[in-house]
Amino acid sequence: MKKKADVVIIGGGVNGTAIAYRLAKAGMDVVVVEKKYLSSGATGKCGAGIRQQWSTRENTELSIQSVRMFETLSDELKMDIEFRQGGYLIINHDEKELKQSEKNVEMQRSLGLDVSIIEPSMIPDIVPVLDVKGMKAVGATFCPTDGHANPFLTTFAFANAARKHGATIYTHTLVEDITINENRIASVETSKGSIKTSWVVDAAGVFSKDIASLVGIDVPNKAYRKEVLATERLQPMFQAMVISFKDGVYFSQQQEGQIVGGIPIPEEKVGYHTMPTFSFLQHMSQTITRYVPLLKQVNMLRHWTGFYDVTPDARPILGEDIKVKGFVHCHGFSGHGFMLSPMVSKILAEYITDGKVSPVLERLTLERFEGADLTQEQNVVG
Amino acid sequence: MRKHAIVCRCEDITEQDVIDAIHQGYTDLEELRRRLRIGMGPCQGRVCISLVKKILEKETGQRVSEESFPTSRPPLIPISLGSLAKKKRGKE
């Protein structure tokens, strides 16, 4: 194992590998430590969606810029990440949701996003298989530049490009301790040896809280169990991701043809339990066949459990810690880490290489939770 | 010589596809699965994973433990969403 590095990134998910790529490209000596295999955590379990329709300005800005990067990422990384823009159709079920949508669309449009409010009668023009009455839709919003990419391939593409620029990635390697010298990161102790470094990036997803606690930092994140199912492959039927905040459901058809989607588990509890449940399957099947009746004849192949690393305001925690110098937070994505990764990795890499502080970074510090006035992200599904 | 034998019938992956991916650096059963979609079709890995394990051991010269086999996901056999959506008898 390498004895020293400029930066040690903990976590081989999409954010860890993306930051590794950007730092290595900028000429830094980078090591990634992953306790299992690449994309083994939330990245590899996620629903693959990429959306820009949010209720908070920070998430909207980050995601608009991320989408612009996703558009050219396959070329940049020289590997097809299966990015495609079929849009996101957000179904509204009552007046309250319609009012929130109007507010959101106004804010989103002010940031330059192409998004509009859709009448119920127009919904089948976008996703013909939807049953407008069955899902009790009173309206919807649609953004045509939202979309999907393959989370595994995106992670591998970032990792391969990072390696080409000289980064070293250790999989099946556990971080056991982090040492500090005069409030500055000094080394990372792993199951395969010790690495001297002055920077650590905590991109360990749901385990970020444990990593932060190694240097005495308490983060307010909680692990929320989520389940996702995948059907057999079908001919292409629709392009858009369909979601509903009220029902909590999301689903889309992936490039290979399978329908992938999720919904909150009825008896969901906070904590780390990985066993999938039958009640999820039943609840999801009842909901998705109400939205798309023809799916009743379609076979489900598998379902799995993943985790949201959730913060009190459902927005990520990003940037260098104020107490422990060199410790960089990159967690708390609350279910949206994959779609924000291109921009998040750019902002954090620029901070580490040049000390550049972007305005978004200033609003997403850990310290915001000490204040009383939190802006809650409302647009959360799954 | 290219090895055209099909290893994964669900996703149409040949022995050569697996060998190429291993030489590109995907030397973990889970990573191979995510790169090639082996074990993600209707058989869910029951047909292909043991074969992929053998190829991986041959190419890397290292033993692959059965503990590193990809997680088995429920259900055991594909089941229609319509069947799953049915309400329990008497609870309608």
CATH number, residue A291: 3.30.9.10
Cα A208 from Cα A344, distance rounded (Å): 16
Give the pLDDT confidence score for residue A3 in this predicted structure.
97
* Smallest Cα distance from A42 to chain B, Å: 14
* Smallest Cα distance from B5 to chain A, Å: 22
Tell me the chain B residues in contact with residue A38 when contact means C-beta distances shorter than 8 Å: 28, 31
B75 pLDDT exceeds 90? no
Tell me the chain B residues in contact with residue A232 when contact means C-beta distances shorter than 8 Å: 41-42, 78
Give the pLDDT confidence score for residue B92 in this predicted structure.
43
The four Cα atoms A326, A327, A329, A330 give a dihedral, to 10 degrees, of 80
Minimal Cβ distance to B30: which of A37, A302, A304: A37
Give the pLDDT confidence score for residue B90 in this predicted structure.
55
What's B10's domain CATH number? Answer: 1.10.10.1100
| A376 three-state secondary structure | coil
Cα B11 from Cα B43, distance rounded (Å): 10
Minimal Cβ distance to B73: which of A38, A296, A303: A303
Q: Do A304 and B80 touch (CB under 8 A)?
A: no
* Smallest Cα distance from B50 to chain A, Å: 19
What's A25's domain CATH number? Answer: 3.50.50.60
- How far CA A188 is from CA of A171, A177, A199, in Å, comes to 15, 6, 10
Minimal Cβ distance to A295: which of B25, B40, B81: B81
Q: Which domain holds residue B44?
A: 6-85
Q: Are residues A139 and A260 in the same domain?
A: yes
Nearest partner of A4 among A201, A188, A214, A191, judged by Cα: A188
The four Cα atoms A46, A51, A53, A58 give a dihedral, to 10 degrees, of 80
Q: Do B44 and A301 touch (CB under 8 A)?
A: yes
Total residue length of chain B: 92
Q: Do A304 and B73 touch (CB under 8 A)?
A: yes
Residue at B92 is within a domain: no
Give the pLDDT confidence score for residue B89 in this predicted structure.
62
**pLDDT, greater one: B91 or A35:** A35
Complex-level ipTM: 0.88
Q: Do A302 and B42 touch (CB under 8 A)?
A: no
Residue at A362 is within a domain: yes
What is the pTM for the complete model shown?
0.93
pLDDT tens sequence for chain A (382 residues): 999 999 999 999 999 999 999 999 999 999 999 999 999 999 999 999 999 999 999 889 999 999 999 999 999 999 999 999 999 999 999 999 999 999 999 999 999 999 999 999 999 999 999 999 999 999 999 999 999 999 999 999 999 999 999 999 999 999 999 999 999 999 999 999 999 999 999 999 999 999 999 999 999 999 998 999 999 999 999 999 999 999 999 999 998 899 999 998 877 666 667 778 888 999 999 999 999 999 999 999 999 999 999 999 999 999 999 999 999 999 999 999 999 999 999 999 999 999 999 888 888 999 999 876 677 888 887 7
Confidence of residue B31 (pLDDT cuts 50, 70, 90): very high
Residue at B90 is within a domain: no
Element (H, E) at A180: strand A175-181
Q: Which domain holds residue A293?
A: 85-145+222-310
Residue type, A47: G
CA end-to-end distance (rounded Å), chain B: 62
**Which residue is closest to A159 within chain B, CA to CA?**
B25
Report how many domains make up chain B: 1
Q: Which residues contact A65 (CB under 8 A, 6 or more apart)?
A: A342, A343
Tell me the chain A residues in contact with residue B73 when contact means C-beta distances shorter than 8 Å: 276, 302-304
Residue at A60 is within a domain: no
Q: Are residues A196 and A345 in the same domain?
A: yes
Tell me the chain A residues in contact with residue B25 when contact means C-beta distances shorter than 8 Å: 160, 163
